């Protein structure tokens, strides 16, 4: 069955891909077996993360990007990720509606992810879904996340190119952008440029980048700051060109920044996967064991301190050092 699913994914079968992504999100163990086999077929897509505050216009931008990419004969996968909600709620439904004109296009595949699967949370299921879309042959994969916390930064780091979308705002908007998010940005987009204050927001961003000159030395990539009007389809071609420039930058030879970034991502991913698997094993074995229950009782009775109990339990599991 696994072989059959893998074959269908590789041939681009939309229904199989949709089911597999749902199974990944739903924590179906068989999905992991499929992912093992699909990994060798990944690495051809360019993955772009689009993040930014709620309502910044991410979905509208993506909708326009899809059109531009399709007119350049590129196929596109889109993942709308909502880490703040355990359910795929209203925002994601809105996203689907905003992009639904592409729904009948074979070259476009749009899905939303909302749960925290046991493969390692939303970041892990996003990475897995990206791998599936990559293996099915999509040229570009766009990931939309609402940018507020560390989860979004993590999801953004799944991407090769991260686009941070901001809108013209009153005063301190740019200062309020968390430095973690600022530092993951490869491209800034000031969307809703039809609104007042777009130029100010843009120069504020440039200024914030100027405060970190070491980061953008010779040969380094300094994030360009673009302006767009997503609803009017303005500035989207520029954005796509910059995404292309960044992809080219990542490919540049020795030492390839793309490879370095990829290694960092893979390292994080592997550490996270090991952490999770270890924890699952401990939960299944140690946390339900008699010695654990006895330790809990003994600590509660103040017969033993929790530090010593913890040392002993771990020693019983892994051996003492
Ligand atoms: N004035 C103006 N409105 C825009 C522009 N781009 C998007 N909008 C509007 O902004 C609203 C939010 O757009 P979305 O694309 O749903 O924004 P989002 O960032 O995906 O929102 P969430 O997914 O809910 O975080 C919609 O009503 C859009 O029509 C723009 O360039 N100018
Ligand atoms: Mg959206």
CA nearest ligand 1 atom 1, residue: 192
CA nearest ligand 1 atom 21, residue: 55
pLDDT of 61 higher than 70: yes
**Alpha carbon of 59 to ligand 2 centroid (Å):** 4
Give per-residue pLDDT as tens, 233-259: 999 999 999 999 999 998 886 677 788
**Alpha carbon of 13 to ligand 2 centroid (Å):** 26
Sorted by sequence, the CB contacts under 8 Å of residue 152 that are 6+ apart come out as 51, 83, 145, 146, 181
Please, what is the angle between helix 290-300 and helix 306-318, to 10°?
170
Omega of the bond prior to 255 within 30 degrees of 0, cis? yes
In the structure, what pLDDT confidence band is assigned to residue 117 with cuts at 50, 70 and 90?
very low
Give per-residue pLDDT as tens, 256-278: 778 888 888 889 889 988 998 89
Residue 90 has what pLDDT? 41
Q: Where are the beta strands (DSSP E) in the chain?
A: 46-52, 76-81, 108-113, 140-146, 161-166, 187-190, 225-227
Backbone angles phi, psi at 142, to 5 degrees: -105, 130
What residues does ligand 1 touch, defined as CB less than 6 Å away? Answer: 52, 54-60, 91, 94-95, 98, 146, 191-192, 194-195, 229-231
Does residue 195 contact residue 221 with C-beta atoms inside 8 Å?
no
Ligand nearest to the CA of 55: 1
How far is the C-alpha of 207 from the C-alpha of 317, rounded, in Å? Answer: 53
Ligand nearest to the CA of 51: 1
Residue 26 has what pLDDT? 80
**Alpha carbon of 33 to ligand 2 centroid (Å):** 31
Does residue 167 contact residue 56 with C-beta atoms inside 8 Å?
yes
Residue 172 has what pLDDT? 65
Mean pLDDT of 70-81: 94
Ordered strands of the 161-166 beta sheet = 108-113, 76-81, 140-146, 46-52, 161-166, 187-190, 225-227
Distance (Å) of CA 24 to CA 9, 17, 27, 115: 14, 10, 5, 10
pLDDT of 152 higher than 70: no
Q: Which among 54, 57, 90, 195 is the best mutation to test ligand 1's pocket, defined by most ligand atoms within 8 Å of the CB?
A: 57
Q: Which among 64, 230, 236 is the best mutation to test ligand 1's pocket, defined by most ligand atoms within 8 Å of the CB?
A: 230
Mean pLDDT of 38-53: 93
**Alpha carbon of 84 to ligand 1 centroid (Å):** 19
Residue 256 has what pLDDT? 78
Residues recorded for the chain: 321
What DSSP string runs through 131-172?
Answer: HHHHHTT-SEEEEEEE-SSHHHHHHHTTSSEEEEEE---STT
Mean pLDDT of 187-204: 94
**Alpha carbon of 46 to ligand 1 centroid (Å):** 24
Mean pLDDT of 67-94: 74
Mean pLDDT of 40-60: 92
pLDDT, greater one: 219 or 132: 132
How far is the C-alpha of 297 from the C-alpha of 255, rounded, in Å? Answer: 56
Residue 87 has what pLDDT? 46
**Alpha carbon of 99 to ligand 2 centroid (Å):** 10
Among residues 108, 55, 49, the alpha carbon closest in space to that of 81 is found at: 49
Does residue 51 contact residue 152 with C-beta atoms inside 8 Å?
yes
Q: Which among 51, 55, 147 is the best mutation to test ligand 1's pocket, defined by most ligand atoms within 8 Å of the CB?
A: 55
Q: Where are the beta strands (DSSP E) in 214-311?
A: 225-227
């Amino acid at each position: 069955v696994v072989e059959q699913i893998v074959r269908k994914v590789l041939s681009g079968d939309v229904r199989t891909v949709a089911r597999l992504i749902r199974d990944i999100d739903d924590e179906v163990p068989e999905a992991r077996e499929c992912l093992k086999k699909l990994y060798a077929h990944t690495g051809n897509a360019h993955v772009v993360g689009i993040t930014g505050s709620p309502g910044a216009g991410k979905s509208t931008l993506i909708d326009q990007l899809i059109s531009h990419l399709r007119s350049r004969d590129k196929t596109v996968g889109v993942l709308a990720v909502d880490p703040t909600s355990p359910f795929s709620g209203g925002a994601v439904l809105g996203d689907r509606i905003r992009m639904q004109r592409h729904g009948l296009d074979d070259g476009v595949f749009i899905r939303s992810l909302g749960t925290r699967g046991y493969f390692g949370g939303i970041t892990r299921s996003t990475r897995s879904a990206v791998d599936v879309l990559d293996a099915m042959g999509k040229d570009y994969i766009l990931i939309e996340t609402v940018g507020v916390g560390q989860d979004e930064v993590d999801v953004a780091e799944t991407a090769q190119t991260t686009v941070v979308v901001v809108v013209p705002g009153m005063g301190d908007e740019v200062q309020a952008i968390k430095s973690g998010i600022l530092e993951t940005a490869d491209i800034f987009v000031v969307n809703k440029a039809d609104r007042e204050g777009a130029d100010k927001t843009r120069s504020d961003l440039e200024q914030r980048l100027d405060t970190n000159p070491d980061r953008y030395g010779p040969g380094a990539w300094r994030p360009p700051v673009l302006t767009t009007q997503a609803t009017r389809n303005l500035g989207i071609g520029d954005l796509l060109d910059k995404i292309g420039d960044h992809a080219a930058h990542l490919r540049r030879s020795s030492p390839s920044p793309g490879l370095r970034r990829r290694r960092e991502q893979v390292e994080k991913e592997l550490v996270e996967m090991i952490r999770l698997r270890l924890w699952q094993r401990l939960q299944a074995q140690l946390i339900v064991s008699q010695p654990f229950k006895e330790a809990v009782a003994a600590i509660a009775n103040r017969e033993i301190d929790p530090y010593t109990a913890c040392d002993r339990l771990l020693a019983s599991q892994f051996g003492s050092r």
